[in-house]
A and B are shown apart, each in its own frame.
Chain A
């Protein structure tokens, strides 16, 4: 099966202007599921609240940005992971009904529904006996 989506490597996480920001940007992990009616993106964005999310869909490019603010007070003793904004973009091959894109956030997991446009939904062709 051909993959309908490709990660956009140009923007994968690397901080473009380190002088202006102190935090790094991280690439969140995503699962992508395709059903008959929609594409479903499930992404792990721990620490991101609904208000901190910026999701855009433009020219087949879906961009997800999650703001994460620094949250430690006191003296850091030991660190195994860094915190910073999450950023990822995907190029969507299928025709998507942009008006109907919806998203929900639960326990740090983003669930993004991308409903397919009517014209690309699989249609059952009726075969008539002649």
Chain B
């Protein structure tokens, strides 16, 4: 979905093998999903909230569109514009630019009105309060 500026097929192949070499050795988990979907997401929870995080370096918060619909449908869209320089020459272009949209099914319903987002150092973090029904409830056991 996110297009790189590489045009010739040969260059693309070279870039791909280079990235595979670089990222393949670097660590598992980073390559598997990120090869096709953008952006890769991490999801974690506390008792009250679901948290979703995405690495979006070079994006601006204003250029990101985030929606939660139907209680558990998360949609993130945005655009990253390529840098432009007069003249000169590119020796390496590994970073990707363009538009993306990703929708994601959250594992439980959240309160869409209370979702908050922060964007710092190229990392988007969404805090999504769970609806009351799915929050864990502590069962008190009374001694009889």
Chain A interfacial positions (CB closer than 8 Å to B): 1, 3-5, 7, 9, 12-15, 24-27, 29-36, 40, 42-49, 71-84, 105, 107-109
Q: B58 and A34: CB pair below 8 A?
A: no
What does DSSP make chain A's interface, helix, strand, loop or mixed?
loop
Q: Residue B42 contacts which of A14, A26, A40, A79 (CB distance < 8 angstroms)?
A: A79
Asked whether any CB of chain A lies closer than 8 Å to the CB of B142, the reply is no
**Subset of 7 A-B contacts with CB under 8 Å:** A4-B91, A42-B95, A46-B122, A47-B55, A72-B42, A78-B41, A108-B57
Q: Which residues of B contact A46 (CB under 8 A)?
A: 55-57, 121-123
Chain B interfacial positions (CB closer than 8 Å to A): 18-19, 21-23, 25-30, 32-34, 37, 40-46, 49-51, 53, 55-60, 83, 85, 87-96, 107, 119, 121-123
With contact pairs A4-B91, A47-B123 given, residues A80 and B44 touching in the complex (Cβ less than 8 Å): no
B7 to chain A, nearest CB (A): 15
Q: Residue A47 contacts which of B25, B59, B122 (CB distance < 8 angstroms)?
A: B122
Q: A5 and B91: CB pair below 8 A?
A: yes
Q: Which residues of A contact B46 (CB under 8 A)?
A: 73-75
Considering the complex, give the chain B residue whose CB is closest to the CB of A15. B27
Q: B44 and A108: CB pair below 8 A?
A: no
